[in-house]
């Protein structure tokens, strides 16, 4: 591409994460302009997007939309239909990664380590007492109950007593028709960013996430200073490689593209378990992917340029 070509940084939209997306998108557009690109922010209005992109003669879309549309395959399919190249994952990979129950099935069928889990559908919700008994037998306590299609730790409860299972499931059903009851992994919470460049995918250094409260919930994620992030994580070489290999396997099994982040829990024996993949990770200068890139000497504007150049 040419540096005069218009790059549309699409952000915002109708998702509950629109505000964070605007911060991510604004930072990306500013960074690309700093690198000499003709980048323009475009607020996502789904039924007007293509007309808008044509009107501004956009050659490529930098997708900065978190959650609904940007992360679930809808934006990707609108752009595919219009023949406009875009950064990040395609339609199917986005849709699968957005749904933790679909992700789980992909990982399990490929033999990628992920916590043991039961998937409960809303049509079974009438008999929560039976479901509770099933969870106690198949998973045990503590158990992590979570909605299949939510982010930011919303709709996630770590249940320590059997009596709490039904309320946690009922809460998770308010967000999504499928709910996961997952084995709780005790140990370190890690995340691995992966970058695609010239068709090759490489994991960046592992980040260890250490929330002061002990739980990586909404507060720990979005309150300044509530969580310490260590990059590279203080792990021995073999464990680092094990965790990066799990992230890489997840990337390939889900068919991801561009930059993505895979969350991994590492238990006390050093075995990693994949929780989920994030296909539109936060990209403010203080977000996790830029932190991991900085650890290998890639500055934020360079990171944004590399992502842009991986658009297809
Ligand atoms: N199986 C699990 N074992 C231990 N902790 C978990 C497990 N699943 C989720 N958690 C905790 O809950 C947080 C949010 O869960 P996650 O599956 O990553 O959903 P999201 O980030 O999309 O809300 C994780 O970052 C982790 O701290
Ligand atoms: Mg997560």
Residue 123 has phi, psi (to 5 degrees) of -65, -15
Atom of ligand 1 at shortest distance to CA of 263? Answer: 18
Residue 173: the pLDDT is: 93
Same structural domain for residues 28 and 43? yes
Mean pLDDT of 31-56: 98
Same structural domain for residues 196 and 217? yes
Q: Where are the alpha helices (DSSP H) in the chain?
A: 18-34, 49-55, 74-82, 91-98, 100-110, 128-138, 165-173, 218-222, 237-254, 288-294, 300-309
**Ligand 1 pocket test, candidate residues 145, 147, 153, most atoms within 8 A of CB:** 153
104 occurs within a structural domain = yes
**How many angstroms is it from 120 CA to the middle of ligand 2?**
20
Q: Looking at 19, 127, 222, 228, which residue is catalytic?
A: 222
- 17: Cβ below 6 Å to ligand 1? no
310 occurs within a structural domain = no
Token digits of residue 249: 């396997």
Cα maximum dimension of the chain: 62
- What confidence tens digit (pLDDT) does each residue in 222-246 have? 888 999 999 999 999 999 999 999 9
Residue 170: the pLDDT is: 92
Q: Looking at 99, 182, 196, 263, which residue is catalytic?
A: 263
Same structural domain for residues 82 and 68? yes
Domain total in the chain: 3
298 occurs within a structural domain = no
CA gap 198, 269 in Å, rounded = 36
Residue 218: the pLDDT is: 85
Same structural domain for residues 145 and 213? no
Q: pTM for this structure?
A: 0.95
List Cα–Cα distances, 134 to 126, 167, 170, in angstroms. Answer: 14, 16, 16
Mean pLDDT of 169-197: 95
Residue 18: the pLDDT is: 93
Contact 162, 132 (CB under 8 A): yes
CA gap 59, 289 in Å, rounded = 25
Core vs surface per residue 180-209: b (16+ CB within 10 A) or e: bbbbebeebbbbbbbbbeeeebebbbbbbb
Same structural domain for residues 158 and 275? no
Nearest C-alpha to atom 26 of ligand 1 is from which residue? 216
- What confidence tens digit (pLDDT) does each residue in 287-306 have? 999 999 999 999 999 999 99
**How many angstroms is it from 81 CA to the middle of ligand 2?**
30
Same structural domain for residues 265 and 203? yes
- What confidence tens digit (pLDDT) does each residue in 141-171 have? 999 999 999 777 778 899 999 899 999 999 9
Last residue of one domain, picked from the residues 166, 183, 200: 183
| SS3 (DSSP) at 200 | strand
Nearest C-alpha to atom 1 of ligand 1 is from which residue? 184
Q: How is residue 142 annotated by DSSP?
A: S
Atom of ligand 1 at shortest distance to CA of 221? Answer: 25
Contact 88, 280 (CB under 8 A): yes
- Respond yes or no: is residue 225 known to be catalytic: no
DSSP assignment of 181-242: EEEPPPEEEEEEEEEEETTEEEEPPPEEEEETTSS--HHHHHSTTSEEEESS-S--HHHHHH
265 occurs within a structural domain = yes
Q: Which structural domain, as residue segments, surrounds residue 246?
A: 96-113+185-279
Name 149's bridge partners.
none
1 occurs within a structural domain = no
Q: What is the CATH number of the domain that holds 76?
A: 3.40.50.20
Q: What is the CATH number of the domain that holds 107?
A: 3.30.470.20
Same structural domain for residues 106 and 191? yes
Q: Which residues are within 8 A (CB) of 38 and not within 5 positions of it... i.e. 6 or more apart?
A: 3, 4, 5, 6, 7
Residue 224: the pLDDT is: 87
- Respond yes or no: is residue 121 known to be catalytic: no
**Ligand 1 pocket test, candidate residues 100, 275, 276, 288, most atoms within 8 A of CB:** 275
Contact 289, 259 (CB under 8 A): yes
Q: Looking at 12, 13, 17, 69, which residue is catalytic?
A: 17
- Give percent of the chain with pLDDT exceeding 70: 100
290 occurs within a structural domain = no
Same structural domain for residues 102 and 219? yes
Q: Which residues are within 8 A (CB) of 234 and not within 5 positions of it... i.e. 6 or more apart?
A: 208
Same structural domain for residues 100 and 191? yes
Give the lowest-confidence range in 6-20, 150-164, 168-182, 258-272. 150-164
79 occurs within a structural domain = yes
Contact 265, 188 (CB under 8 A): yes
Residue 125 has phi, psi (to 5 degrees) of -65, -15
- What confidence tens digit (pLDDT) does each residue in 121-133 have? 998 877 888 899 9
Same structural domain for residues 229 and 109? yes
CA gap 289, 27 in Å, rounded = 13
Mean pLDDT of 276-280: 97
Last residue of one domain, picked from the residues 151, 166, 183: 183
- What confidence tens digit (pLDDT) does each residue in 59-114 have? 999 999 999 999 999 999 999 999 999 999 999 999 999 999 999 999 999 999 99
Q: What is the CATH number of the domain that holds 172?
A: 3.30.1490.20
Token digits of residue 4: 């005069």
- Give percent of the chain with pLDDT exceeding 90: 87
- 227: Cβ below 6 Å to ligand 1? no
Same structural domain for residues 207 and 104? yes
Contact 233, 265 (CB under 8 A): no
Same structural domain for residues 58 and 20? yes
289 occurs within a structural domain = no
Residues in the chain: 312
Q: Which residues are within 8 A (CB) of 216 and not within 5 positions of it... i.e. 6 or more apart?
A: 153, 189, 209, 227
């Amino acid at each position: 591409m040419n540096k005069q070509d218009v790059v549309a940084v699409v952000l915002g939209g109708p998702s509950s994460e629109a505000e964070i997306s605007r911060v991510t998108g604004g930072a990306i557009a500013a960074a690309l302009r700093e690198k000499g690109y003709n980048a323009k922010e475009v607020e996502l209005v789904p039924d007007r997007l293509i007309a808008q992109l044509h009107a501004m003669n956009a050659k490529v879309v930098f997708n900065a939309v978190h959650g609904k549309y940007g992360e679930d395959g809808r934006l990707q399919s609108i752009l595919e239909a219009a023949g406009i190249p875009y950064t990040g994952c395609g339609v199917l990979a986005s849709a699968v990664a957005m749904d933790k129950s679909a992700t789980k099935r992909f990982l399990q069928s490929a033999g990628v380590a992920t916590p043991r889990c039961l998937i409960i559908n809303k049509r079974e919700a009438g008999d929560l007492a039976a479901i509770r008994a099933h969870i106690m037998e198949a998973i045990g306590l503590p158990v992590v109950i979570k909605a299949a299609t939510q982010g930011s730790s919303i709709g996630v409860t770590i249940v320590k007593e059997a009596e709490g299972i039904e309320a946690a499931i009922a809460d998770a059903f308010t967000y999504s028709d499928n709910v996961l009851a997952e084995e709780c992994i005790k140990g370190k919470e890690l995340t691995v960013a992966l970058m695609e460049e010239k068709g090759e995918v490489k994991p960046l250094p592992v980040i260890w996430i250490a929330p002061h409260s002990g739980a990586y919930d909404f507060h720990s994620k979005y309150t300044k200073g509530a969580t310490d992030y260590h990059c590279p994580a203080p792990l021995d070489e073999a464990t680092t490689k094990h965790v990066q290999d799990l992230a890489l396997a997840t990337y390939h099994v889900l068919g991801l593209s561009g930059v993505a982040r895979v969350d991994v829990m590492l238990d006390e024996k050093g075995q990693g378990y994949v929780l989920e993949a994030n296909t539109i990770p936060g990209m403010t200068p203080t977000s996790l992917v830029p932190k991991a890139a900085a650890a290998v000497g890639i500055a934020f504007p360079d990171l944004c340029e590399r992502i842009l150049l991986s658009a297809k």
